[in-house]
Chain A
């Protein structure tokens, strides 16, 4: 069994749903982002999802895009980031780290080296939203070799046979995008069809996934209220908190962020 899935299974013995909180590496500065990650882990979040910024994050909404661009006003280095995350992993053994980025920075770094170094730094999962599984033969082989889980995404509009295929390939956890669109609040939200937001359709979607997936299920995109988290209990294993947490952090720093997490998960 994958280390990631094993950790989730163990934690789930005592918790109805696990928390994964997202942080943009380097926002607003490298040190402040590392302090924020340490604080989150100290507060007992189950996972941090660290996003290594890319200049053109097409799957992200305005909050995360702005944070990535702000972070990139500094020169950010993948190797340094991995080493710093490795130290956090050691300091906070009760939580786990998942690393997310876009393909190009990691392609330039070297996908095999990326899998190897991330694994060496005790990062358990990797998310690259613009790398479809069909184009990922070498990357999957590297992840297999270095015992780190590539995390695949499924969406409410993923065709059923493809959903079954992706679910069957998932080991660590399967990332289920809750609705159409990009992360967080965006001007594009009203263009997505209503039924994507509908309670029963999310339930049906998660039930459909459960039929095919052996791996745990994480749900993200647009989560910002306690009722949404409660709705996921019993249907998913991890609730992923991204833009909402960043928005809270932007409003009132770490304290405001922690307040949101407590309101949602405790």
Chain B
């Protein structure tokens, strides 16, 4: 979606410290040129195909459809990307742009670690130095992802300020960029931040919706009646929705994280239910979860990837104008939806994507039998093994962990030596 000077209605813009002005201008120019350069686009599609395995399938879910007895249910299988999530579409795009700009290092923030891993993968492939900022608390919760980032050669920096989660990691990435802008690119993971990041990330993610347009026509002879996507930062939703923006008959539903409840601090609902307020922070204007005094607040979701205090200015604008309908799913509904997909279709969804499933499953029984819905399965759930095991109260898992720990060698090699 094209912005007006970086703005989408009242949202978006560029609110960055002066020190970043030149770097931001460089990205604006480089992106504007790259997206109109057939050579760049050819390389992008080649990398998407050869490195990430695109196009991803559109999978018909017969069992789920029969189970609900309403709409025909299809999944867009972004979980089948290399690295297991849609994040790959964006990091490949920005990675190529970094090479084009002649920079040698990338910085990224990560919450759950998915964007961190995707960035580390691309940095390794393109020969870029890579530093990932991650809240110290998130590092504790998501250590397996941290392990892989380090193995891929990235430096993972624990952020110990504030709540020590994604928001603080983003602040710290901006601080690094303020110092390192001459040779580093801030490879932001979602369609947030100062212009042109929202537009650029949405552009690279729009391959999702572009493929669904072709696949839906080929597989069922029409565009979908409804699209569902979870909304954390908003990049997978932008990717699925934006190519259908002008197709007025295609309805769009964004699903936010209801977490444990609607009290401030218990959820990550910025758009539905009037829980967020307009604000300007972290480089852009959008709806933020904040207190009366404009201080940003803590958030919660069982899915770490949805646990963000702001939201894409593009999604905020489309929600405000009514083009996208926003709803939310609670943690327990999300686990139920995840479990149902496992049992009915043999697919392991990420907890983030399970929000989109939960939102769609609520509507499916009440939709006409000939209607078609497409749910964006933005990521696979292997990474959530610990959280899901805990949520379904698996009896054997604690014993497995105890036994594994007992057999773990104690004189392990220091990571630095290992990397040397």
Contact = CB atoms under 8 A, between A and B. Distances in A.
Interface of A: 54-62, 65-66, 69, 72, 75-78, 102-109, 129-132, 134-135, 152-155, 157-159, 162, 166, 177, 180-182, 186-189, 191-193
Contacts of A162: 21
Nearest to B279: A104
Contacts of A72: 295
A134 B13 CA distance: 10
B178 interface: yes
Interface in B138-193: 157, 161-162, 167-168, 171, 174-176, 178-182, 184
Contacts of B281: 54, 56, 102-104, 130
Nearest to B288: A104
A132 B15 contact: yes
Contact of B292 (A106, A108, A153): A108
B342 interface: no
Given A104-B290, A107-B279, A107-B280, A59 B179 contact: no
Contacts of A189: 179
A56 B21 contact: no
A134 B174 CA distance: 20
Given A66-B161, A108-B294, A135-B14, 12 more contacts: A54-B281, A55-B162, A56-B167, A58-B17, A59-B178, A62-B161, A76-B293, A103-B280, A130-B15, A134-B14, A153-B17, A157-B181
A155 B277 CA distance: 32
Contacts of A69: 161-162
Contacts, number: 136
B19 interface: yes
Contacts of B162: 55-56, 65, 69
Say what secondary structure dominates the interface of chain B.
mixed
B294 A104 contact: yes
Contact of A180 (B14, B179, B283): B179
A181 B178 contact: yes
B139 to A, nearest CB: 16
15 contacts: A61-B175, A65-B162, A69-B161, A69-B162, A103-B281, A109-B293, A130-B281, A132-B21, A153-B17, A155-B19, A157-B181, A157-B182, A180-B19, A181-B19, A181-B179
Nearest to B296: A55
A77 B291 CA distance: 11
Interface residues of B, number: 39
A109 B277 CA distance: 13
Contacts of A186: 175, 179
A157 B182 CA distance: 9
A105 B293 contact: yes
B15 A191 contact: no
A77 to B, nearest CB: 7
B414 interface: no
Contacts of B283: 58, 130
A72 B280 CA distance: 18
B179 A192 contact: yes
B66 interface: no
A135 B18 contact: no
Contacts of A180: 19, 178-182
Given A75-B293, A132-B18, A192 B180 contact: yes
B73 to A, nearest CB: 40
B174 A58 contact: yes
B16 interface: yes
B22 A56 contact: no
Contact of B294 (A54, A60, A155): A54
A74 to B, nearest CB: 11
Given A62-B161, A75-B293, A105-B295, A130 B17 contact: yes
The 7 closest A-B pairs by CB, nearest first: A108-B294, A191-B180, A188-B179, A181-B179, A105-B294, A59-B17, A153-B18
B339 interface: no
B161 A65 contact: yes
